[in-house]
Amino acid sequence: MHSVLKLAMASLSLAAAAAWSAPITFNTALPVHEGGYVWREQLIFRQSADDPTPARRDMQVTGLVSVLGYGVTADFALFGMLPWFDKRLDMRMGEQDLSRSQSGVGDLTVLGRYTAYQYDAPGRTLRIAPFLGVKAPTGEDDARDGLGRLPPALQSGSGSWDALGGAVLTYQTLDFQIDSQLSYQANREANGFQAGNRWRVDGSLQYRLLPRRLGGGVPAFLYGVLEARLLHATKDRVGGSADPNSGGATLFISPGLQYVTKKWILEAGVQVPVQQRLNGSALETDYLFTSGFRVNF
Amino acid sequence: MKFINYIQALGMAVSLLMATAAALAAGPSYRLAVDGLACPFCAYGIEKKLSALAGVERLETNIEDGSVIVTMQDGAILDEAAAQQAVKAAGFSLRTFEQVAPGAPEGQ
């Protein structure tokens, strides 16, 4: 069950980190110009209904993720991400059907990214940028319903201060762009629960479908997008003991489309798990749909 | 009918006159070759930074050849160091800087 929370949070934080990037599901090193802002909104829907256990768990998470990026200098940018969640879990307990849900603002993540290496040439650029961030417990982590305290997977926040860091590489040309990211998030304990730490490796290819030939000026681009994400999480700890039904590895493949103009971007994609090796009866993901926009100002 | 034709001709003449006056009033133009410019979303920052420079009249970005034509107001010039700083602040690199058209002569 706890892996559901981790996967949802991972997906949403990845989406948020993509605020300054071309990829749909993760961050890259594309620039936010000095003194400029990037605002991103993403609507995310996640479905997990393929539960083989008698509980027949069916979980749906809808998230609206607001992201604001600011270019402090040409090389250093700050990003803030605040999600809003609507979570619902239906399950069967004994002969009863139960439904539990929770809505609210989630945890705020703040990231700093520094472009450590940059090579520019006509019509292309290569950038490598490490980033470091912290997740603050701004979301509700002690929500209750008639059955008592909601499980961590249904809480809007984790209740803990967590740290994350990594590096992102971008190679962009006029015809295509390749991005790759490696990141790690260390989670801390709150309310007797500690979500497992996680590694994440991302890759993305964006290929210009339209216009086929570039003319003068700055035409809008339609990109076809194919992304892959490997997520590995260690087991959660409950009351100091490892939860055997949590953690594991998932590989997502995500086709999508982006319409890119000078001022704004529209994008949508579907993340499909092609390999899930989760521990015990941790709930697997069926799919994750993402759509949103970005604005430069 | 003839009156309508007369009005249309008069309108075209006025438009032509205004366009010519604007062209004559424009200052020098510069061509900036910018390295790293590879997508439409990136072009916004460079246009924002260059248009903030004093005396800039208009910009024409061409993403295919990575160039920006900067036309200055009458009597204004573009300093290469300022252009380089603006391009860098936008997150790119200035490769070459050249004046491609002189400004209108004094008194025009």
Rounded Cα gap, residues A5 and A135, in angstroms: 15
CATH code, B26-101 = 3.30.70.100
The proportion of chain A whose per-residue pLDDT surpasses 90, expressed as a percent, equals 85
Instruction: Supply the mean pLDDT for chain A.
Output: 90
Do A107 and A158 contact (CB within 8 A), yes or no? yes
Its pTM stands at: 0.86
Do A69 and A20 contact (CB within 8 A), yes or no? yes
A248: which 2 tokens? Answer: 């594991």
Kindly indicate the confidence band of residue B18, based on its pLDDT and cuts at 50, 70 and 90: low
pLDDT in tens, A187-199: 999 999 999 999 9
Beta-strand relationship, A162-173 and A124-136: antiparallel
- Report the alpha-carbon angle A187-A190-A196, nearest 5: 30
Answer yes or no: do A174 and B48 touch at CB < 8 A. no
Rounded Cα gap, residues A60 and A49, in angstroms: 8
Query: How close A263 gets to chain B, by Cα (Å)?
Result: 6
> Distance between the two ends of chain B, CA-based, in angstroms?
38
Burial of A61 (0-12, 13-18, 19+ CB in 10 A): buried
Answer yes or no: do B44 and A121 touch at CB < 8 A. no
The pLDDT of residue A6 is above 50: no
Do A120 and B93 contact (CB within 8 A), yes or no? yes
Helix, strand, or coil (residue B22): helix
- For residue A263, the number of C-alpha atoms closer than 13 Å in the C-beta half-sphere is 1
Nearest to B89 among A33, A221, A294 (CB): A33
Q: Does B36 touch chain A (CB under 8 A)?
A: yes
The pLDDT of residue B96 is above 80: yes
Burial of B16 (0-12, 13-18, 19+ CB in 10 A): exposed
Helical residues (DSSP H) of chain B, grouped into ranges:
2-25, 40-51, 80-89
How many angstroms separate the Cα of A258 from the Cα of each of A37, A41, A45, A292?
Answer: 20, 14, 18, 10
Answer yes or no: do B66 and A22 touch at CB < 8 A. no
Rounded Cα gap, residues A237 and A285, in angstroms: 21
Rounded Cα gap, residues A165 and A109, in angstroms: 12
Which domains, and CATH codes, for chain A? 2-296 (2.40.160.40)
The pLDDT of residue A272 is above 70: yes
Query: How close A144 gets to chain B, by Cα (Å)?
Result: 44
Residues 253-272 of A with CB under 8 A from B: 260-263, 265
Average pLDDT over residues B87-94: 95
Kindly indicate the confidence band of residue B8, based on its pLDDT and cuts at 50, 70 and 90: low
Instruction: Supply the mean pLDDT for chain B.
Output: 84
pLDDT in tens, A136-158: 999 999 999 999 999 999 999 99
Interface predicted TM-score (ipTM) of this complex, two decimals: 0.85
